[in-house]
Structure 1
């Protein structure tokens, strides 16, 4: 089997597990509140910490990956977030949950930056967009699996059940042997003489890409940090919540692959702009402002439109990967992507605070306001890209 297939499979699987662990906590807020005394603010903080600490992990471990190779960082990150998930599952206090969630965020950042780059570098030149799309499809699969797991565990969440539900996030440990045995670095730089790289030369790329990624994250997480609770609050049975999240995220995973393949043939900026416009169409359907439109067919349709349009996500990191030298590729890609994830955490906290003040029923209004604001920034950045994104050309 070709080496790039192993790299793709390992990176896809570890990224799916990463997202599974990031998002599974959104299903157990009620149990964390009941058994550990967690309040709403701590709940949104719990979610946000997984995003915020990814910035540090992505940059620090990205620099190590640039100097010592991606493989070791991919293995460390995958093992790290899996083990801390087991600790989180059986932590006796919310303080410990928050502490280990922060450590988990560091490991998540390490995994993403190493996995994304090693798959890209191993891929044949003509398949790099497709391979990147497949790897990032792990996001949709990981999120979908949280819905599938919730369907399985929802009748048994009382007592210790919710803890065993969280423990399923340790399953990615089984990927470690594959990474160690079959995944190879294309190139490492240890003990090599390298030309000095002036990071300031790529500041324009970093800033613009970070704005695009920040906007997409802020929009997404301001919705999905509360969306399972929101639709359940409208009277949706918990089993149906799991089914809805599963189906929508399988659609998201497929969309990642499709957009990734299109990126090998069509200008990336055009694809991202099209995806953003699609998201803008989907938001008011999935978060209807008027009660008369709060029906399952239109809300599910809006959810599908939004998630399918979000398929442009894998293209955004390529704006950095394809624009900077290999010597700083992991560090800058991890930094821009995970700076964006911080804004996702800000979106999560913002939405959590607003619904705490105004009630969960207000999520439709605030979701539209927050999403349209963030997506407008993305569009403005893309339209003006070539004026400030030095060292890169976006077709």
Structure 2
């Protein structure tokens, strides 16, 4: 049933692109609660990445602090990415069962505590352990943040919203870069001040989410179940049963989503995690210039996310992803070959325009192809399993650079250095090819109105399948019937 769908609908059908209101009119009609939910989802993902990029920006300082090699320091990045899948499972299940609000608040508070603790680490073992635990909490953020931001918005703005929300990734890296550029050099504590500042921003995000009500979509679903007389224990039993049914019915879709997530995460981490070190070692940049170039690249990411999100609303998610992957491939030479600050910064802008533009479509794409009742668990877990698969990217690049070396002129002398440029070009090029192939054989459910379907704790939620739908308006052919309305009305899905 799923496999035949993989080979059709490269471009959304006409009925999927019609009946939608103009974007500006929809934006003007949003309530302040919808705007606030969107903002808190974006802010949570931004904080997540301020905290994550504290390590890549501090690799050289951490080497000095703990007397470790680049490869050993990047082990902390690998551990963080490995443990993210655990957090995605834990907090995704809590969110789909108990709501979007408090699981995200708790997640952010604990994230803040661990980031604060990492800044006080006195030994490398302490730092390593805290970053591993940090990975668990970091893994819970993405699925909850995207569900919070997107599920209460009209379908007409979800493409744009997806691009902006995902660029919390770039904004987080950009803010971390700015803090590293301005605050860190002027404080006696050095790299630790970057971690402590990130901790405070995460705590602020937790307070912002706590001040807002629960997701309206989730509240309606819970009210409908109460009206049917289902108590909390009963909802939990149904949730567990429907989760098992979802996994049994959608195992092939799960595999596809993980493969896709692995590809774009290899691309993302391949262009980000070792980039400041690459500029300093392979291109002989100062720490200041390497940070500035990183910030320029993240500006390209912001532009790419917005452009790709809006483009996907018109031509579809898959075609947009493939198009932006080709943009990445085209600019790999400009990103790796030059030696000047200006040329490499232009390359960084263009590469991140493509990479983060592509990834900007991911939240809405994974949400649309997800089993509708599992919009926090399914996208979050598959995204973080992809992160787990790509967790060793920075170590692969660091090890590859140590074995594939080149020479540059440094202080008037030829110096033998790791060739991080060539290694990163190979890794990113391979990831681009993989993403293009996997996305073009994947499903498309452009502008699906997933909010019209059941929550995970409602009977039949695990059997709902977006690929059975004849259109994107929550309607199905007459051969099947399922209760659909969040208000508890009976009808054809």
Q: Same fold (TM over 0.5)?
A: yes
The one of 122, 127, 131 equivalent to 2:152 is: 122
Task: Spell out the pairing of 1:325-340 with structure 2 (5 A cutoff).
Answer: 325-340=371-386
Report if the CA contact (8 A) 2:104-2:144 is conserved. yes
Q: Does 1:286 pair with 2:320?
A: no
Q: Measure how far apart 1:187 and its partner are.
A: 0.7
- Pick closer, same or farther for the CA change 1:7–1:237 going to 2, 3 Å: same
Q: Which has the larger radius of gyration?
A: 2
Q: Measure how far apart 1:183 and its partner are.
A: 4.2
Of 218-227 and 138-147, more deviation after overlay is shown by: 218-227
Q: Counterpart in 1 of 2:486?
A: none
- Measured in 2, the distance between the counterparts of 1:147 and 1:181 equals 29
Q: Counterpart in 2 of 1:356?
A: 402
- Measured in 2, the distance between the counterparts of 1:14 and 1:83 equals 15
Q: Does 1:248 pair with 2:305?
A: no
The one of 296, 299, 312 equivalent to 2:341 is: 296
Q: Counterpart in 2 of 1:316?
A: 362
Per-residue deviation, residues 62-107 of structure 1 (Å, max 9, x unmatched): 1111111111121122112121011000111111111111111111
- Measured in 2, the distance between the counterparts of 1:229 and 1:39 equals 12
- Pick closer, same or farther for the CA change 1:102–1:143 going to 2, 3 Å: same
Report if the CA contact (8 A) 2:332-2:351 is conserved. yes
Q: Counterpart in 1 of 2:218?
A: 187
Report if the CA contact (8 A) 1:49-1:345 is conserved. yes
Of 354-363 and 364-373, more deviation after overlay is shown by: 354-363
Q: Counterpart in 2 of 1:344?
A: 390
Q: Measure how far apart 1:25 and its partner are.
A: 0.9
Report if the CA contact (8 A) 2:398-2:420 is conserved. no
Q: Does 1:207 pair with 2:255?
A: yes
Report if the CA contact (8 A) 1:212-1:381 is conserved. yes
- Pick closer, same or farther for the CA change 1:10–1:317 going to 2, 3 Å: closer
- Measured in 2, the distance between the counterparts of 1:178 and 1:365 equals 43
Q: Which has the higher helix share?
A: 1
The one of 64, 74, 92 equivalent to 2:94 is: 64
Report if the CA contact (8 A) 2:299-2:349 is conserved. no
Q: Counterpart in 1 of 2:135?
A: 105
**Structure 2: unaligned runs, 5 residues or longer:** 1-30, 223-231, 406-416, 445-464, 473-493
Aligned length: 388
- Pick closer, same or farther for the CA change 1:223–1:125 going to 2, 3 Å: closer
- Measured in 1, the distance between the counterparts of 2:246 and 2:58 equals 46
Q: Does 1:168 pair with 2:197?
A: yes
Q: Secondary structure at the match of 1:385?
A: coil
Report if the CA contact (8 A) 1:154-1:239 is conserved. no
- Measured in 1, the distance between the counterparts of 2:60 and 2:425 equals 25
Task: Spell out the pairing of 1:243-282 with structure 2 (5 A cutoff).
Answer: 243-282=292-331
Report if the CA contact (8 A) 1:355-1:363 is conserved. yes
Report if the CA contact (8 A) 1:209-1:316 is conserved. no
Q: Counterpart in 1 of 2:3?
A: none
Q: Measure how far apart 1:357 and its partner are.
A: 3.5
**Structure 1: unaligned runs, 5 residues or longer:** none
Q: Does 1:142 pair with 2:198?
A: no
Report if the CA contact (8 A) 2:80-2:132 is conserved. yes
Report if the CA contact (8 A) 1:323-1:391 is conserved. yes
- Measured in 2, the distance between the counterparts of 1:73 and 1:228 equals 34
Tell me which stretches of 4 or more aligned residues in structure 1 moved more than 6 Å. Answer: none
Q: Measure how far apart 1:154 and its partner are.
A: 4.9
Q: Counterpart in 1 of 2:111?
A: 81
- Measured in 2, the distance between the counterparts of 1:156 and 1:358 equals 36
- Pick closer, same or farther for the CA change 1:53–1:20 going to 2, 3 Å: same
- Pick closer, same or farther for the CA change 1:199–1:336 going to 2, 3 Å: same
Q: CA RMSD in A?
A: 2.3
- Measured in 2, the distance between the counterparts of 1:35 and 1:177 equals 33
- Measured in 1, the distance between the counterparts of 2:296 and 2:38 equals 23
Instruction: Say which structure, 1 or 2, has more relative contact order (CA 8 Å, 6+ apart).
Output: 1
- Measured in 1, the distance between the counterparts of 2:265 and 2:370 equals 23
- Pick closer, same or farther for the CA change 1:9–1:145 going to 2, 3 Å: same
- Pick closer, same or farther for the CA change 1:137–1:183 going to 2, 3 Å: farther
